[in-house]
Amino acid sequence: MTAGRLVFDLSSAARWSGPPVGIVRVQRELGQWARRRRPDAVFAIYDPRSLTYRALSEPLVDAFLAGTASLNAWGLPEPTGRRKRRSAWVPRPLYDAWQIRRTLLRVLERVRLQSPSPWAVRAADWVQRRLITRRYASSMINPDGSRRPFLAPDEVFGPPIAFAPGDVLVCTGNGWSHNNIAVIEALKAKVGLRLAVVCFDLIPLQFPRFFKTRDVDDLRRYWLAALGVADLIVVNSTAVARDAAALAAAEGLTLGRLALCPLGADPATLRSGPDAPLPAPLEAGRYGLFVSTIEPRKGHEMLLKVWLRLLADGVPQKAGFKLVFLGRRGWLMEGFEAALRDTPAVTGSLIILPQADDVLLDLLYRNAAFCLYPSFYEGYGLPVVEAFARGKAVIASNGGSLAEVVGDFSPSLDPRDEDVWFETLRRWIVDPSARAPYEAALRERFRHPSWEEVGATFYREVDALAAGPTQAVAG
């Protein structure tokens, strides 16, 4: 264990609503490991109002780790301190009147969660459900229709954490959005705490065309600071380690210790049970599954072009085959959405599911004929490993770390080569024996670390910080 306390930043998981994307899933898994096995762990959330980390109460730690509650951050300042929200310029009474729907939802949520009267609780829920628009649904309603506690800041933020020398702050989430690296730098210089960060990738800095300019600027500012002051930088692949070293060399940064820790994938048997019905019109063994946020880098547009060519040749129709995109809408996808609207040929054959809880996700994986992952560049590619853990062959790209992650368990195709994707996908649909060697190899040889093993590896690296020198803070 560390010489001081292990302070686990849970800011991203606390702010998240809906099914988790990769980074939030990783934060929850590593947080749950510490919750089970590290009595010295303190779970904290960054408070942008006071520029401090605050402790979380025990019940809220479990709720945020499980994804059964989230923080209502509507009225909070922007965490990174880079810009002021419009609400910051408006007096609170006027803001509450201006945002009357939000105000009513917030007041009614407090009643729903705290009132001793069952009648008041039911009434608050009844009124809220009539006020909740699509914009607020993912924050307040679970995919199964049950209610998600949406907690006000004063219900979440506990006492400030007084950091001491020897403490280790562990940041595993979206630090560029949910904490303030300048505050962490100042704490590190003042107190002498040690900082461990997980660097999932540096793709926005390498390929800014795939991202909004503001997001690229935020990530650049964060990582140029974080890579320079972190004592431990945990990466999930050697590709990201190379990318981090290259960025540091280009920017004149001295990196702290780099450690490799792959992501986990628990086998499907851990969530085994009788199959529920698949979403219509899907049939077991008759669809290809692509799990990813829908954003430019991931390859949805290229795969749509391939699918349209297959439809023109009648390939999916003859096999009764569908293509499934599972993932929430990202950014800069207006062209993709316009193409969907303008191509009625895909209706009924390309199914887009915006979200799925873990039960549905597992169901979709286990019943897919195979999976796809045509991403242009990845720092890891967790959905590929999740598919492998269920014995599902994957047509993957060779972008970034993917060739390293898939090894010989998958073909690794150029994500820019539409023709090779067309031929491979056509062959796997028409002739299942074409993917059989990969399926056999997965059954016989695939072995990937569980999240339990990954947690042990990760915290061994964190504990090693206590024995080494702290990374200096410039200036």
| 131 is a domain residue | no
What is the structure's pLDDT at 17? 83
Please, what is the average pLDDT of the chain?
89
Confidence band, pLDDT 50/70/90 cuts, at residue 357:
confident
| 434 is a domain residue | yes
What is the structure's pLDDT at 20? 75
Give the domain-ending residue among 260, 292, 324.
Answer: 260
**CATH, residue 294:** 3.40.50.2000
Confidence band, pLDDT 50/70/90 cuts, at residue 334:
confident
What is the structure's pLDDT at 440? 96
Total of domains in the chain: 2
The arrangement of strands across the sheet holding 370-373 comes to 350-353, 322-326, 287-291, 370-373, 394-397, 412-413
Give the CA-trace dihedral at 252, 238, 451, 292, to 10 degrees.
90
What is the structure's pLDDT at 31? 96
| 351 is a domain residue | yes
| 109 is a domain residue | no
Confidence band, pLDDT 50/70/90 cuts, at residue 471:
low
What average pLDDT does the segment 139-150 reach?
Answer: 88
Contact 351, 325 (CB under 8 A): yes
Are residues 373 and 284 part of one domain? Answer: yes
| 279 is a domain residue | yes
| 440 is a domain residue | yes
What is the structure's pLDDT at 474? 58
What average pLDDT does the segment 48-65 reach?
Answer: 93
Q: What are the tens digits of pLDDT across the range 416-427?
A: 999 999 999 999
Pairing of β 412-413 and β 70-71: unpaired
Are residues 190 and 307 part of one domain? Answer: no
Tell me: pLDDT of 250 over 50: yes
Alpha-carbon distances, residue 115 vs 132, 141, 147, 296 (angstroms): 20, 19, 16, 45
Give the domain-ending residue among 260, 280, 312.
Answer: 260
What is the structure's pLDDT at 96? 67
Are residues 437 and 323 part of one domain? Answer: yes
Token digits of residue 427: 């062959």
Q: What are the tens digits of pLDDT across the range 27-43?
A: 999 999 999 999 989 99
**Which of the pair, 344 or 199, is modelled with greater confidence?**
199
| 394 is a domain residue | yes
Alpha-carbon distances, residue 210 vs 244, 297, 402 (angstroms): 19, 6, 18
DSSP run (H or E) holding 288: strand 287-291
What is the structure's pLDDT at 252? 93
Tell me: pLDDT of 122 over 70: yes
Pairing of β 41-47 and β 394-397: unpaired
Tell me: pLDDT of 258 over 90: yes
Are residues 303 and 236 part of one domain? Answer: no
Are residues 308 and 218 part of one domain? Answer: no
Tell me: pLDDT of 453 over 80: yes
Are residues 424 and 367 part of one domain? Answer: yes
Tell me: pLDDT of 2 over 60: no
What is the structure's pLDDT at 469? 64
What average pLDDT does the segment 297-302 reach?
Answer: 92
Could you give the percent of the chain with pLDDT greater than 90?
A: 69
Contact 150, 63 (CB under 8 A): no
**Which of the pair, 453 or 359, is modelled with greater confidence?**
453
Alpha helices in 300-430 (DSSP H): 300-312, 315-319, 334-342, 358-367, 382-389, 402-406, 418-430
Are residues 60 and 195 part of one domain? Answer: yes
Tell me: pLDDT of 18 over 90: no
Tell me: pLDDT of 475 over 70: no
Which pTM value belongs to this model? 0.87
C-alpha span between 283 and 280 (Å, rounded): 8
Q: What are the tens digits of pLDDT across the range 60-112?
A: 999 999 988 999 998 888 888 776 655 656 666 676 666 799 899 999 999 99
What is the structure's pLDDT at 92? 66
Tell me: pLDDT of 319 over 80: yes
**CATH, residue 51:** 3.40.50
What average pLDDT does the segment 318-335 reach?
Answer: 86
Are residues 158 and 50 part of one domain? Answer: yes
| 119 is a domain residue | no
Are residues 218 and 318 part of one domain? Answer: no
Could you tell me the residue range of the domain that residue 232 belongs to? 6-72+152-260
C-alpha span between 418 and 425 (Å, rounded): 11
Are residues 310 and 194 part of one domain? Answer: no
Are residues 275 and 251 part of one domain? Answer: no
What is the structure's pLDDT at 417? 96
Tell me: pLDDT of 269 over 50: no
Q: What are the tens digits of pLDDT across the range 210-239?
A: 888 988 999 999 999 999 999 999 999 999
- In Å, the largest CA–CA distance within the chain is 68
Q: Flag the least confident range among 50-59, 335-344, 425-434.
A: 335-344
What is the structure's pLDDT at 311? 95
What is the structure's pLDDT at 91? 66
DSSP run (H or E) holding 413: strand 412-413
Give the CA-trace dihedral at 262, 268, 269, 271, to 10 degrees.
110
Are residues 316 and 241 part of one domain? Answer: no
What is the structure's pLDDT at 268? 45
